[in-house]
Amino acid sequence: MSGAGADRVFHALADTTRRDIVALVVQGEHSVSDLARRYPMSFAAVQKHVAVLERAGLVSKHRLGREQRVRGEVGTVREAHRVLDQIEALWQGRLGRIEDLVTSPPIPDSKGDTS
């Protein structure tokens, strides 16, 4: 995932409603109308949330008859997960080095003093 792509994904996921929409559509396809009924906001507001998610590659839309159907893009969710895993691995490595420093015996100075 490129830097700009990660920025779009994590910006999109920064909103509670958008995270909820992603969770719903990853489990199964929903129409925009179905999604709009779930939230205390206008249909247009839900459409805007879906558009942000679509630009980030987290969802895709297709027309089925008169409905706009939204489905989750699991590949993008997995890529975001990999980015977070890489960040966690860096922190785990740092924490491990700190633990090694804290638990290692003191190094004596040139006079043999370890205090």
Q: What is residue 101's predicted lDDT score, i.e. its pLDDT?
A: 67
Question: What is the separation, in whole angstroms, between the first and last Cα of the chain?
Answer: 49
Top pLDDT among 102 and 42 is at 42
Domain limits for position 43:
3-75
Residue 3's pLDDT band, with cuts at 50, 70 and 90, is: confident
With respect to residue 18, please indicate whether it lies within any of the assigned structural domains. Answer: yes
With respect to residue 15, please indicate whether it lies within any of the assigned structural domains. Answer: yes
With respect to residue 32, please indicate whether it lies within any of the assigned structural domains. Answer: yes
Does the pLDDT value for residue 102 go beyond 90?
Answer: no
With respect to residue 115, please indicate whether it lies within any of the assigned structural domains. Answer: no
φ, ψ of residue 70 to 5 degrees: the values are -120, 130
Q: Tally the domains of the chain.
A: 1
Does the pLDDT value for residue 110 go beyond 80?
Answer: no
**What digits encode the pLDDT tens for the residues 10-54?**
999 999 999 999 999 999 999 999 999 999 999 999 999 999 999
For position 24, which CATH number holds?
A: 1.10.10.10
Task: Give the global pTM.
Answer: 0.76
- Provide the mean pLDDT of the chain: 89
